[in-house]
């Protein structure tokens, strides 16, 4: 099936430009208009009725609900937001920030026709906002993977696989008791989707290989070292750590480096991992890429295109990625 993205590619313009040509909502140069019309004719493109309807009342604004709740790492949140903004501007869209954390803000933004679509961050496993989204006609994408949202579009990092990858890497390094030092307690108590999936993958992989493992919530401050010390006092045979807590990572890695035989793997953006030289390995959390992918999904929905209900960005060890790059470089010589 021919899509608006195919028309944009053949015409050499953005998807939003094609939409403007079809709707007449903005002035487009005659040359660009003719190129788009030729592409439409040559591809025999016929837009869906829903796409035409959306184009006719477009605001070119996406509503982004990004509640800054307790325990959330602002650095990572802002990297995701940067990816959203960069991709939105590439499609000539603006972002309206919705700072609430419930469905009322979503209703206000859509009821007043302020936005064409909605993006939701900090998604809980049983997120109450899902019920609101079901009632709204506005296209929406969740940056997260909650339960019971099969009919909604979700884009996220594959946290469950990341937990598995980390556990398998530590076990491959010879560790026979391991621990996950993760999100702050308040994040876990909210049943935030990513934290629960990460723990689930980590514990499942360890259980399958008969390796004892525990999960410990950590604050994002230097007090996280107290959690590590208490864990080591209770389980002195732990030799492998998996850390997913960007705020605490530097403190935890520094303390772990003073314990003989204790090795640390982290899940975090690559720019953070590069500042912690004592890591034995890391899994890149592509925060900007996540924001970009979610916005691409929104653009596809606005264009009336079919898009996967769930897209998970893959979890890859830094060592595996570097090995693949080196192999590709050798092959290219």
Q: Compute the residue count for the chain.
A: 333
Instruction: Encode the chain (333 residues) as per-residue pLDDT tens digits.
Output: 677 778 888 998 877 677 777 766 556 788 888 898 899 889 888 765 445 444 556 789 999 998 878 888 888 999 999 999 999 999 999 999 998 888 888 998 888 788 999 999 999 999 999 989 888 888 999 999 998 777 889 999 999 999 999 999 999 999 999 999 999 999 999 999 999 999 999 999 999 999 999 999 999 999 999 999 999 999 999 999 999 999 999 999 999 999 999 999 999 999 999 999 999 999 999 999 999 999 999 999 888 777 889 999 999 999 876 655 554 554 565
What is the structure's pLDDT at 315?
97
Return the pLDDT at 51: 52
- Could you confirm whether domain 61-158+288-313 is CATH 3.40.50.2300? yes
Quote the pLDDT of residue 32. Answer: 87
CATH 1.10.260.40 fits 4-56, yes or no: yes
Residue ranges per structural domain of the chain: 4-56, 61-158+288-313, 159-284
- Give Cα 138 distance to the centre of its chain: 21
User: For residue 64, what are the contacts with CB-CB under 8 A and spacing of at least 6?
Assistant: 81, 84, 95, 96, 97, 98, 118, 119, 121
Phi, psi of 282 (to 5 degrees): -150, 160
d(CA 309, CA 203): 27
As a whole number of Å, the end-to-end CA separation of the chain is 39
State both tokens at 151.
Answer: 């009919």
State whether the Cα torsion 190-193-198-200 is positive or negative. positive
Give me the pLDDT at residue 57, please: 60
What is the C-alpha separation between 26 and 95, in angstroms, rounded? 19
Class of the 159-284 domain?
Answer: alpha beta
- On the 0-12 / 13-18 / 19+ scale of CB atoms within 10 A, 303 is buried
Q: Which of 266, 318, 311, 315 is nearest to 291 (CA)?
A: 311
What's the per-residue H, E or C state across the chain? CCCHHHHHHHHCCCHHHHHHHHHCCCCCCHHHHHHHHHHHHHHCCCCCHHHHHHHHCCCCEEEEECCCCCCCCHHHHHHHHHHHHHHHHHCCCEEEEECCCCHHHHHHHHHCCCCCEEEECCCECCCCHHHHHHHCCCCEEEECCCCCCCCCEEEEECHHHHHHHHHHHHHHCCCCCEEEEECCHHHHHCCEHHHHHHHHHHHHHHHHCCCCEEEEECCCCCCHHHHHHHHHHHCCCCCEEEECCCCCHHHHHHHHCCCCCCEEEEEECHHHHCCCCCCCEEEECCHHHHHHHHHHHHHHHHCCCCCCCEEEECCCEHHHHHHHHHHHHHHHC
Q: Do the domains 4-56 and 61-158+288-313 sit in the same CATH topology, yes or no?
A: no
């Amino acid at each position: 099936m021919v899509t608006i993205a195919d028309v944009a590619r053949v015409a050499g313009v953005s998807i939003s430009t094609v939409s403007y040509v079809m709707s007449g909502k903005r002035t487009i140069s005659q040359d660009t208009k003719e190129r788009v019309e030729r592409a439409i004719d040559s591809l025999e493109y016929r837009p869906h009725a829903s796409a035409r309807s959306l184009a006719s009342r477009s605001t070119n604004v996406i509503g982004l609900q990004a509640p800054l709740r307790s325990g959330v790492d602002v650095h990572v949140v802002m990297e995701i937001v940067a990816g959203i903004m960069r991709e939105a501007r590439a499609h000539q869209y603006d972002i309206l920030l919705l700072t609430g954390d419930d469905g009322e803000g979503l209703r206000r933004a859509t009821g007043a026709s302020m936005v064409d679509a909605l993006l939701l961050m900090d998604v809980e496993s049983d997120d109450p906002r899902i019920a609101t989204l079901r009632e709204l006609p506005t296209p929406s994408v969740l940056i997260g993977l909650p339960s019971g949202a099969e009919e909604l579009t979700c884009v996220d990092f594959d946290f469950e696989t990341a937990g598995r990858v980390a556990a398998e890497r530590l076990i491959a390094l010879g560790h026979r008791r391991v621990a996950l030092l993760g999100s702050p307690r308040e994040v876990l108590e909210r049943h935030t989707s990513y934290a629960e999936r990460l723990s689930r993958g980590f514990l499942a992989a360890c259980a399958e290989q008969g390796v004892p493992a525990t999960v410990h919530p950590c604050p994002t401050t230097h007090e996280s070292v107290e959690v590590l010390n208490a864990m080591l006092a209770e389980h002195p045979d732990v030799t492998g750590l998996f850390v997913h807590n960007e705020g605490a990572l530097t403190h935890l890695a520094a303390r772990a480096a003073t314990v003989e035989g204790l090795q640390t793997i982290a899940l975090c953006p690559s720019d953070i991992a590069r500042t912690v030289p004592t890591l034995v390995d890391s899994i890149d959390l592509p925060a900007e890429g996540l924001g970009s992918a979610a916005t691409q999904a929104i653009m596809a929905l606005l264009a009336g295109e079919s898009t996967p209900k769930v897209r998970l960005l893959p979890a890859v060890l830094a060592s595996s990625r570097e090995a693949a790059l080196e192999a590709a470089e050798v092959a290219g010589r």
